[in-house]
Structure 1
Amino acid sequence: MSPDTTGIDHSRIDFAPLVESVTGPVFTPGQEGYEEELTGFQAGYRHTPAAVLGAANAEDVRLAVAFAAAHDIAVAVQATGHGVTVLDRGGLVISTRRLTDITVDPGARTARIEAGARWEQVVALTAPHGLAPLSGSAGHVGVVGYTLAGGLGLLAREFGYAADLVEAVEVVTADGQARRVTADSDPDLFWALRGGRDNFGIVTALEISLLPVATVYGGGMYFDAAQADLVLEQFRSWTATAPESVTASLGMIEYPPIPVFPEPLRGRHVVHVRFATTDLAAGPGLVAPWRAFGAGIIHEHLGELAYPEVGSIYAEPTFSHAYDGNSVLLSELTPEVLEAVRTLAGPGSPVDCIVDLRHMGGALSRQPEVPNSVPFREAAYILRVLSGSDEAPLADIRAAHAALDEAVKPWTLGRSLNFVYGERAADAYAGELYDPATRARLAKLKGVYDPGNLFRTNLNIEPAA
């Protein structure tokens, strides 16, 4: 077995004491259950640790972290496996997928959510009370990783980042302590966790505020990609004056000619413009300009949606598959950016690309009452591109994505931790995921809470001396 970055050959470590102390299963390479435990939504990349623990409870996580610290084993965490980036090679992976307990307090408008839960599970329990979380476009995504990276959701301009609504974090830190962290108990760590994701500990549960939202006006309109120049320009001009009560995005994708998709979309490259707002009365008027600007609508899905139905707005795939991609946060949406998107990632691009361009600003631009470490709040848009990594050579995919990155570089502020896909080095984008001041403060706090960099199998924030 290959040693990890410590230089210690972890194949010689005796995991029997860990096996005997925890409730959940511990698997090592070659053992039945090892591959299954490490299988997640991302099918293109997988950890290969010296051992993986299927944590059954928070105490299992605490015991595993303490064991890893005693043996200087790097610790990684996986829940649903959507955001696999830095791969564990010979360390310890803690799988939290069994931690799925969710408790809703309708009176307080809060929910406690364990680390393996998915948004669709949360929504199923909050919707009967007329409440909703700040969930994202895909209900099958895990709550914790999404939220602690920021969490850019369907109603983001209206209500901010999902991290902004976190009230408490239950986390095991590098010293093997289980802590309940709040703004009052540990203000610095609370700031760092909400934006620093898995750099400061293994989170076992979150407590979040819920919104009094039962229904949204939302959906989308589809246009043929031959009209992409018109649609992109309409998106630029319309979002320039759109109220923050509406969150909009634009996608470009080529649909395969199979019956699972609506007939007008099959086999076509399309531009999909998507909307969501809680202002039910204003919704139809807000999207009215899209019916009259000049490009013909080939398919439409718009109307009032009960919150459990909001996944239909993006209609993203729910099956495991291989993908690679990235994102950039933009200061503005210029004609040059739109031209780059159309020519470098649209029809005729060197590799098939799925483009996602989201309007930001509004509540995203403001720190919450209790500030957090989510950076680049001045960003006006986020541009995301991904490709199926089993459909073209990875070198070709990354070259095509890099060409788009380079074309929009003059307007790029940084990258979003929520949208970095595929295997990367731990120091990838070290200067791009946070602004200098935020990164410096995070590094200082990393030196306090994880001076040995136990939690290094991630897009790493190295501890300051």
Structure 2
Amino acid sequence: MTTDHHPRQTPDLFALSELHGPLLRPGDDAYSDEVTGFNLATPHTPEVVVGATDTDDVVTAMRWAAATGTPVAVQATGHGANFPIDSGLLINTARMTDVHIYPRTRTATVAAGVKWSLLLEASAPHGLATLNGTSTDTGVVGYTLGGGLPLLGRAYGYASDLVRSFQVVTPDGTLHETDADHEPDLFWALRGGKGNVGVVTSLVTELLPLSHILGGGIYCAGEHAEPLLRAYAAWTPTLPPQMCTGFTLLRLPPLPIIPEPPPLSASLERGHPHRGRFWARVAVAWTGDPAEGERLLAPIRAAAPVAFDTVAEMDYRKADEIYQDPQDPIPAREACALLRDLTPQAVDTLLAQAGPAVPDFPLLLVELRHMGGKLADPARVEDAVSGRDAGYLLESVGVPTDPETAAAVEAATTSLYTAMAPYGTGHTMPNLHGRPGDEADRARAWTPEAYDRLRRTKSTYDPANLLRFGHTVPT
């Protein structure tokens, strides 16, 4: 056990002496590493950090927080670190990495700090796969609490749809086992309600009987973004649910964090790097017969000159190669909006905001994800996910490296979503919402009915509003 090194340790902290993991405060050698998440744009300065190693540590930390009235934040990977933790207690669950696979029932028990990559590697030898997002570097629990928009979402639904049960510590320090039949309100809120009602220490989720897919990206030079996007808008409504796709405008800075592509085709000038260029891309993940998937891709490949094409049959463990999300921490300004449809007018507006005619556009990524399919189906057990009526998700990411670029990123983000608002549902998704604003802004991640129920459920389990950091709702 590691204890606090400060000679001025307050008596209150002695209640945390039973921890198995480290207890840290500002000034300790390991403090900075413990509080820094994947998103470097949001620094954290909590007063106390608990590096939880097991469920008992989380229970101890939450009981101390309840007794002292200390607000609590939770972090595993920090991919969703869009809100600064500037006081209180941070529980870091990154050390909690136990995974148990049950091939007969096609389920897994996953601890709070497990990344999708670890769960996928454990599942694959049994011919099973996971409902991860476009990057397997994210944490299973935090992603699933926000509903989770998977890479294969159109084919299988939301990640939260597959959860069978949670082990969760509520803010009074009580450990609960919740599922559809036990504390159903708590189970409801944990599937899509983000971190509003407790600290999840583990979950049980179903796995997919899947080992290979057809996946990759079809890239065109950014100057051809318009015909590619118009073809994409006409193509996606014709697709079966097994075809999961995204259209992306990528303006990649010449930075080492940007992954290089596979060998480029002869149609692209030799020696021209992936980094430092503007690309338009259609990314695909197809779960059906590969030959049928290739046939379905013909309209996209014919829409504009293809610079390089990485679509191929792949082991699902290589799913990160499809979207090629950065694997190293970066500063990021995220935002999203759910769209009803991708009309010609919506396409015109998006191109006017972020297309090739916009000089010095400062956002790294502007992306459309095709929704529908299984994402539109009601959950087998009612949950808090509120994106089932959307046709597309619009997402953006900017990289604010200094005050000047931060201002440019903020202005472009505001302009983009203001312009696209007429085509939206009025809602977002909590995992991709970005920096949570006031109550009205946070509420956009849910329908009014779900938001009201989430507030009522939070008032039951967290009446003192100890879980107030991040995308939370008031009691």
Give the structure 2 partner of residue 271 of structure 1.
Answer: 280
The 8 Å contact of residues 43 and 320 in structure 1, kept in 2 or not, is answered as yes
Equivalent residue in structure 2 for 1:403, among 415, 422, 434: 415
Output the TM-score relative to the length of structure 2. Answer: 0.91
Give the structure 1 partner of residue 338 of structure 2.
Answer: 329
The alignment partner of 2:191 has SS state of helix
1:249-270 Cα offsets, whole Å, 9 max, x none, are 0111123458962454354211
Give the structure 1 partner of residue 190 of structure 2.
Answer: 193
1:33, CA displacement in angstroms? 1.0
The alignment partner of 2:60 has SS state of helix
Counterpart code for 1:205? S
Aligned mates of 1:13, 1:280 — CA distance in 2: 63
1:345, CA displacement in angstroms? 2.4
Give the structure 1 partner of residue 390 of structure 2.
Answer: 379
The 8 Å contact of residues 346 and 353 in structure 1, kept in 2 or not, is answered as no
Q: Name whichever of 94-103 and 346-355 sits farther off.
A: 346-355
The alignment partner of 2:80 has SS state of coil
Q: Name whichever of 91-100 and 274-283 sits farther off.
A: 274-283
Counterpart code for 1:416? M
Q: Name whichever of 262-271 and 399-408 sits farther off.
A: 262-271
Give the structure 1 partner of residue 296 of structure 2.
Answer: 286
Aligned mates of 1:309, 1:286 — CA distance in 2: 22
The 8 Å contact of residues 226 and 355 in structure 2, kept in 1 or not, is answered as no
Equivalent residue in structure 2 for 1:357, among 360, 368, 372: 368
1:117-167 Cα offsets, whole Å, 9 max, x none, are 100101101001000111111111111111110111111001100010001
1:275, CA displacement in angstroms? 0.8
Aligned mates of 2:140, 2:438 — CA distance in 1: 23
Check if 1:389 corresponds to 2:386.
Answer: no
Equivalent residue in structure 2 for 1:56, among 36, 53, 58: 53
Aligned mates of 2:40, 2:279 — CA distance in 1: 26
Q: Name whichever of 183-192 and 283-292 sits farther off.
A: 283-292
The 8 Å contact of residues 427 and 459 in structure 1, kept in 2 or not, is answered as no
Aligned mates of 2:56, 2:440 — CA distance in 1: 32
Aligned mates of 2:438, 2:147 — CA distance in 1: 19
1:426, CA displacement in angstroms? 6.2
Equivalent residue in structure 2 for 1:443, among 440, 443, 455: 455
1:428, CA displacement in angstroms? 6.5
Aligned mates of 1:110, 1:96 — CA distance in 2: 22
Give the structure 2 partner of residue 5 of structure 1.
Answer: none
Aligned mates of 2:422, 2:72 — CA distance in 1: 37
The alignment partner of 1:206 has SS state of strand
Give the structure 2 partner of residue 8 of structure 1.
Answer: none
1:28-80 Cα offsets, whole Å, 9 max, x none, are 11111111111221112122111010001111001101100111110000000
- CA gap of 1:197–1:380, structure 2 versus 1, over 3 A, is same
1:353, CA displacement in angstroms? 3.3
Aligned mates of 1:32, 1:18 — CA distance in 2: 22
The alignment partner of 2:442 has SS state of coil
Alignment of 1:166-185 (within 5 A): 166-185=163-182
Aligned mates of 2:283, 2:424 — CA distance in 1: 23
Equivalent residue in structure 1 for 2:63, among 58, 66, 71: 66
Aligned mates of 2:107, 2:178 — CA distance in 1: 16
1:370-414 Cα offsets, whole Å, 9 max, x none, are 121101310000000111011543232111111111111112221
Greater than 3 Å deviation, 4+ residue runs: 11-15, 255-260, 262-267, 423-428
The 8 Å contact of residues 249 and 274 in structure 1, kept in 2 or not, is answered as yes
Give the structure 2 partner of residue 261 of structure 1.
Answer: 260
Equivalent residue in structure 1 for 2:306, among 289, 294, 297: 297
Check if 1:418 corresponds to 2:413.
Answer: no
Give the structure 2 partner of residue 217 of structure 1.
Answer: 214
1:15, CA displacement in angstroms? 4.5
1:450, CA displacement in angstroms? 1.0
The alignment partner of 1:223 has SS state of strand
1:299-357 Cα offsets, whole Å, 9 max, x none, are 00011111101111011110111111200000111223222322322342542331111
Aligned mates of 2:128, 2:349 — CA distance in 1: 40
Check if 1:434 corresponds to 2:442.
Answer: no
Aligned mates of 2:339, 2:135 — CA distance in 1: 23
Counterpart code for 1:343? A
1:427, CA displacement in angstroms? 3.4
Give the structure 2 partner of residue 249 of structure 1.
Answer: 246
Q: How many residues align?
A: 451
Counterpart code for 1:322? P
The alignment partner of 2:29 has SS state of coil
The alignment partner of 1:398 has SS state of helix
Give the structure 2 partner of residue 114 of structure 1.
Answer: 111
Give the structure 2 partner of residue 29 of structure 1.
Answer: 26
Aligned mates of 1:135, 1:352 — CA distance in 2: 25
- CA gap of 1:176–1:212, structure 2 versus 1, over 3 A, is same
1:444, CA displacement in angstroms? 1.0
Equivalent residue in structure 1 for 2:89, among 84, 88, 92: 92
The alignment partner of 2:311 has SS state of strand
The alignment partner of 1:429 has SS state of helix
Equivalent residue in structure 1 for 2:150, among 142, 153, 173: 153
1:459, CA displacement in angstroms? 1.6
The 8 Å contact of residues 427 and 460 in structure 1, kept in 2 or not, is answered as no
Q: Name whichever of 356-365 and 263-272 sits farther off.
A: 263-272
The 8 Å contact of residues 426 and 459 in structure 1, kept in 2 or not, is answered as no
- CA gap of 1:105–1:135, structure 2 versus 1, over 3 A, is same
1:162-182 Cα offsets, whole Å, 9 max, x none, are 010001111000121111111
The 8 Å contact of residues 229 and 342 in structure 1, kept in 2 or not, is answered as yes
RMSD (Å) for aligned C-alpha atoms: 1.8
